[in-house]
């Protein structure tokens, strides 16, 4: 097959990482793959340039406009794909237009967000050939809220990007580097610093934890809201407990050093961070939005908290901070869940099988 993956910009987010990962996996499976972005460069551009697929951008220089896709139809025609896989909100807004103008290609839209869908996105979902939702809840949202026919939607969960059947040793060196003692419980959040990722609320919740508990919060990522979060941590007197670690090409060492995964994001459909944390045995405490509850087993490998219930989140977090035996029990269940549900080979093959089915129906 000739597969074209369309993404607006290779920022460091989960969808962008998935675009690069899937492109490389499809190419290694023997398919001709092109990754097409609207904007050039981006945090993942160097990585994409080293993968076994063609990589090109539409904007001749970075116009800093995620929506601007000059020459999109010409580029798609030149690639002559059997499958066009649209990743991210802006790419999906163009999916219906591309399907209408190039009916011989099968355009597949994706639902990978917990945010409301723009009008053009909704039109695209109606016009494209098929839709991949990355969680059961996302599929239900498409059916119940947007009136999409169930047979047009396939659920394929995110594959683990850094999967390994064996997990490395605990990273004590990294803990010491950041001043975490052997008894310190390290809370970890890996996400872009954007308003909807809601790190500020996570900081506020941690400020309510009982003073006698020994904890640190590690926040890994970059983005426009980082500076304000750093100031907020200082204002709350938490500068020594909260570590801002910047963008991580591979966050695996952080998972090996941390104890718990925490998420207050308002924009997840299925969290790459949480499924990676589960693989490394980190119990989760997370707000219940869209498909977050499918990233772990509530009550067995983590706690799912009603959205924006600050007190409930703090209480669950306190329980895990105080009970190491519970953390160990949850950790074992977390590893098992991740190895069962998010094995990359299964998710990659599910995409390829779907592509073949869609092409067969439209031949």
pLDDT of 51 reads 94
Q: Who's near 87: CB < 8 A, 6+ residues apart?
A: 5, 6, 7, 15, 16, 18, 19, 110, 112
Domain co-membership, 196 together with 312 = yes
Question: Among 89-103, 150-164, 272-286, 328-342, which stretch is predicted with the lowest mean pLDDT?
Answer: 150-164
pLDDT of 291 reads 87
Distance from C-alpha of 216 to C-alpha of 202, rounded to nearest angstrom: 12
Kindly state whether residue 290 falls inside one of the protein's structural domains.
yes
Domain co-membership, 133 together with 12 = yes
Range 48-56, long-range pairs (CB < 8 A, 24+ positions): 48/10, 48/20, 48/23, 51/20, 51/23, 51/24, 51/27, 52/24, 52/27, 52/28, 53/23, 53/24, 53/26, 53/27
Q: Specify whether the CB–CB gap between 100 and 18 falls below 8 A.
A: no
In this model, does residue 362 exceed pLDDT 80? no
pLDDT of 113 reads 82
Distance from C-alpha of 71 to C-alpha of 63, rounded to nearest angstrom: 14
Distance from C-alpha of 1 to C-alpha of 306, rounded to nearest angstrom: 43
Q: What angle do CA 169, 171, 176 make, to 5 degrees?
A: 150
Mean per-residue pLDDT, 316-335: 96
Q: Specify whether the CB–CB gap between 156 and 239 falls below 8 A.
A: no
pLDDT digits (tens, 9 = 90+) for 108-119: 999 988 788 999
Question: What total number of domains does the chain contain?
Answer: 2
- In DSSP notation, 232-249 reads HHHHTT-TTTEEEEE--S
pLDDT digits (tens, 9 = 90+) for 222-274: 999 999 999 999 999 999 999 999 999 889 999 999 999 999 999 888 899 99
Kindly state whether residue 166 falls inside one of the protein's structural domains.
no
pLDDT digits (tens, 9 = 90+) for 72-123: 999 999 999 999 999 989 999 999 999 999 999 999 999 988 788 999 999 9
Q: Specify whether the CB–CB gap between 254 and 174 falls below 8 A.
A: yes
pLDDT of 267 reads 85
User: Which three-class secondary structure state does DSSP give residue 343?
Assistant: coil
Q: Specify whether the CB–CB gap between 289 and 266 falls below 8 A.
A: yes
* pLDDT band, very low/low/confident/very high, at 63 (cuts 50, 70, 90): very high
pLDDT of 164 reads 66
Domain co-membership, 150 together with 179 = no
Domain co-membership, 333 together with 348 = no
* pLDDT band, very low/low/confident/very high, at 165 (cuts 50, 70, 90): low
Kindly state whether residue 198 falls inside one of the protein's structural domains.
yes
Domain co-membership, 285 together with 143 = no
pLDDT of 292 reads 93
Token digits of residue 240: 């020594």
Domain co-membership, 188 together with 79 = no
* pLDDT band, very low/low/confident/very high, at 361 (cuts 50, 70, 90): confident
Kindly state whether residue 237 falls inside one of the protein's structural domains.
yes
Count the neighbouring beta carbons within 10 Å of the beta carbon of residue 172.
12
Q: Specify whether the CB–CB gap between 343 and 159 falls below 8 A.
A: yes
The whole-model pTM stands at 0.85
DSSP 20: H
Kindly state whether residue 165 falls inside one of the protein's structural domains.
no
Kindly state whether residue 299 falls inside one of the protein's structural domains.
yes
Q: Specify whether the CB–CB gap between 7 and 95 falls below 8 A.
A: no
CATH code of the domain in which 177 resides: 3.40.50.2000
Exposed/middle/buried for 345, CB within 10 Å: 0-12, 13-18, 19+? exposed
pLDDT of 163 reads 66
Kindly state whether residue 15 falls inside one of the protein's structural domains.
yes
Range of the domain at 69: 2-159+343-362
Token digits of residue 312: 């409930």
Token digits of residue 176: 């010491």
Q: How many Cα atoms occupy the beta-carbon half-sphere of 97 within 13 Å?
A: 14
Mean per-residue pLDDT, 266-295: 92
In this model, does residue 357 exceed pLDDT 70? yes
């Amino acid at each position: 097959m000739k597969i074209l993956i369309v993404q607006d910009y290779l920022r460091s987010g989960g969808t962008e990482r998935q675009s690069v990962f899937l492109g490389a996996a499809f190419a290694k499976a023997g398919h001709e793959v092109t990754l097409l972005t609207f904007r050039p460069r981006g945090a993942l551009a160097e990585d994409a340039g080293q993968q076994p697929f063609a990589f090109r951008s539409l904007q001749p220089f970075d116009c800093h406009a995620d929506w601007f896709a000059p020459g999109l139809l010409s580029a798609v025609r030149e690639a002559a794909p059997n499958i066009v896989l649209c990743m991210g909100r802006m790419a999906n807004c163009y999916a219906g237009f591309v399907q209408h103008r190039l009916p011989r290609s099968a355009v597949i839209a994706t639902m990978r967000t917990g945010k409301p869908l723009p009008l053009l996105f909704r039109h695209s979902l109606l016009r494209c050939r098929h839709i991949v939702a990355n969680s059961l809840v996302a599929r239900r949202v498409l059916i119940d809220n947007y009136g999409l026919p169930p047979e047009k939607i396939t659920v394929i969960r995110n594959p683990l990007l850094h999967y390994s059947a064996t997990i490395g040793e605990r990273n004590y060196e990294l803990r010491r580097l950041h001043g975490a003692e052997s008894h310190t419980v390290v809370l970890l959040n890996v996400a872009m610093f954007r308003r909807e990722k809601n790190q500020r609320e996570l900081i506020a919740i941690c400020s309510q934890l009982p003073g006698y508990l020994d904890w640190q919060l590690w926040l890994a990522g970059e983005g426009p809201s980082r500076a304000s979060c750093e100031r907020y941590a200082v204002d709350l007197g938490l500068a020594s407990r909260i570590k801002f670690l910047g963008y991580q090409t591979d966050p695996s060492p952080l998972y090996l050093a941390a104890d718990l995964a925490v998420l207050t994001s308002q924009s997840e459909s299925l969290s790459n961070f949480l499924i990676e944390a589960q693989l490394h045995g980190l119990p989760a405490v997370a707000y219940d939005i869209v498909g977050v509850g499918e990233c772990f087993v509530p009550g067995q490998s983590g706690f799912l908290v009603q959205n924006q219930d600050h007190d409930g989140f703090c209480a669950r977090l306190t329980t895990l901070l105080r009970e190491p035996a519970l953390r160990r029990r949850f950790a074992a269940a977390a590893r098992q869940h991740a190895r069962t549900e998010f094995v990359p080979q299964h998710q990659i093959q599910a995409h390829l099988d779907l592509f073949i089915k869609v092409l067969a129906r439209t031949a």
